[in-house]
């Protein structure tokens, strides 16, 4: 893909540390090329202690917008002048938009991506149909809990190693959030409508996620935010037990859609098979 960079090229990007392996430039640049937009999407990795200065320097719109990834999402929210309800509830922003008047707007599209992945890959899934069980209480989990509540989940049960971290989410997001320890997963799974892994367990080369799905109702959907490997052991076990499953790659692809809209003021073209592009970048086939 080769496109001319002009004096009017709109610049957007992703900022993180590390960011080298981010999939976002591949997706956004494929969309830009297919849509014929005079824009470019690049990756930035400022030193962690210069992140605030980096963002401040973009006020006024030298760069139209940024996706934000680890470890900057919380800081990104704090630096913004305005934030969507979801970003505030998630306590983190994965999208910053730089307005011409100097304001910075923050949003969080991770929860949207998660719900869209479930909608697409687990047909019939309705977040409002019953309690959700979420493994983890990090940034991704908090975003997931916020999105599930906003989508009408009657209750969200957090299972986490550090009880204090889970309690902090419950304190921030209200009485529909209940906290369980790993020794009580079966109680948390009973009557659950969906199980979401928002821990980093199961990541290639890392510690495995060891959890029994006994007690999870067969109709429950199962989602894993981890996408390396694509078919995690959790998703394999869930599928073998008859659950509908949704993968972390689809979540990643779906969160990018509203990000692109925020940066380039139009929906990404549906003609690009971004999943195939992402799979190819991961060395996998569709
Ligand atoms: P954090 O580091 O903020 O949180 C990590 C979570 O994993 C915590 O709940 C932590 O528990 C738990 N955990 C880690 N190691 C262990 C262990 N040995 N035993 C038990 N629990 C453990 O990470 P994030 O919330 O930002 O991300 C979580 C995962 O979600 C990552 O794999 C990330 O790649 C993925 N993700 C995927 C996205 C997608 O689009 N598919 C988007 C965002 C994230 P504790 O609190 O006790 O330390």
Q: How confident is the model over 194-230, as pLDDT tens digits?
A: 999 999 999 999 999 999 999 999 999 999 999 999 9
Q: Is residue 95 within 8 Å of 67, Cβ to Cβ? A: yes
Mean pLDDT of 146-161: 98
Q: Is 228 a catalytic residue?
A: no
- The answer on pLDDT for 98 being more than 80 is yes
Work out which ligand 1 atom sits closest to the CA atom of 165: 46
What pLDDT does 94 receive? 96
Work out which ligand 1 atom sits closest to the CA atom of 255: 40
Q: How confident is the model over 106-135, as pLDDT tens digits?
A: 999 999 999 999 999 999 999 999 999 999
Q: What percentage of residues in the chain have a pLDDT greater than 70?
A: 99
CA of 283 to the centre of ligand 1 (A): 24
pLDDT band at 76 (very low <50, low <70, confident <90, very high): very high
Shortest-distance Cα residue to atom 43 of ligand 1: 140
**Cα-flanking dihedrals φ and ψ of residue 39, to 5°?**
-150, 165
Q: Residue 238's closest CA among 174, 172, 194?
A: 194
Whether residue 279 has its Cβ less than 6 Å from ligand 1? no
CA atoms within 13 A on the CB side of 226: 23
What pLDDT does 3 receive? 79
Shortest-distance Cα residue to atom 12 of ligand 1: 199
Work out which ligand 1 atom sits closest to the CA atom of 137: 9
What pLDDT does 285 receive? 77
What pLDDT does 7 receive? 95
Whether residue 40 has its Cβ less than 6 Å from ligand 1? no
Rounded distance between C-alpha atoms, residue 173 and residue 179, angstroms: 12
Q: Is residue 43 within 8 Å of 13, Cβ to Cβ? A: yes
Rounded distance between C-alpha atoms, residue 275 and residue 268, angstroms: 13
Whether residue 145 has its Cβ less than 6 Å from ligand 1? no
What pLDDT does 61 receive? 87
What pLDDT does 227 receive? 94
Mean pLDDT of 16-39: 96
- The answer on pLDDT for 1 being more than 60 is no
What is the spatial order of strands in the sheet that 132-135 belongs to? 177-180, 156-159, 132-135, 194-197, 221-224, 245-247
- Compute the residue count for the chain: 286
- The answer on pLDDT for 152 being more than 60 is yes
What pLDDT does 58 receive? 97
Q: Is residue 147 within 8 Å of 86, Cβ to Cβ? A: yes
What pLDDT does 240 receive? 97
Question: What's the mean pLDDT when you consider all of the chain?
Answer: 96
* Mutate which of 111, 136, 232 for ligand 1 pocket (most atoms within 8 A of beta carbon): 136
What pLDDT does 132 receive? 98
pTM equals 0.95
Whether residue 256 has its Cβ less than 6 Å from ligand 1? no
Catalytic residue among 12, 16, 55, 73: 73
Q: Is residue 73 within 8 Å of 93, Cβ to Cβ? A: yes
CA of 275 to the centre of ligand 1 (A): 23
Q: Are strands 245-247 and 177-180 parallel, antiparallel or unpaired?
A: unpaired
């Amino acid at each position: 893909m080769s496109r001319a960079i002009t004096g009017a090229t709109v610049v957007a990007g992703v900022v993180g540390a590390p960011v080298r392996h981010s999939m976002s430039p591949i997706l956004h640049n494929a969309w830009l090329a297919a849509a014929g937009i005079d824009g470019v999407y690049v990756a930035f990795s400022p030193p962690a202690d210069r992140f605030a200065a980096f963002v401040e320097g973009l006020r006024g719109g030298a760069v139209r917008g940024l996706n934000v990834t680890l470890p900057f999402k919380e800081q990104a929210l704090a630096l913004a002048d305005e934030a969507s309800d979801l970003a505030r509830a998630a306590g983190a922003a994965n999208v910053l938009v730089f307005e011409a008047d100097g304001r910075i707007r923050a949003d969080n599209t991770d929860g949207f991506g998660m719900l869209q992945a479930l909608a697409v890959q687990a047909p019939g899934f309705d977040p409002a149909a019953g309690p959700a069980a979420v493994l983890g209480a990090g940034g991704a989990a908090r975003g997931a809990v916020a999105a599930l509540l906003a989508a009408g989940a009657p209750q969200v049960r957090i299972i986490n190693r550090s009880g204090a971290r889970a309690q902090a989410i419950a304190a921030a997001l209200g009485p529909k959030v209940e906290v369980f320890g790993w020794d009580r997963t079966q109680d948390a799974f009973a009557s659950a409508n969906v199980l979401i892994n928002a821990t980093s367990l199961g990541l290639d080369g890392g510690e495995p996620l060891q959890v029994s799905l006994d007690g999870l109702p067969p109709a429950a959907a199962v989602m894993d935010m981890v996408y390396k490997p694509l078919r995690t052991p959790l998703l394999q076990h869930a599928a073998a037990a008859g659950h509908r499953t949704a993968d972390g790659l689809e979540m990643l692809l779906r969160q990018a859609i509203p990000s692109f809209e925020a940066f380039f003021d139009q929906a990404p073209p549906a003609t690009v098979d971004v999943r195939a592009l992402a799979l190819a970048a991961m060395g996998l086939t569709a």
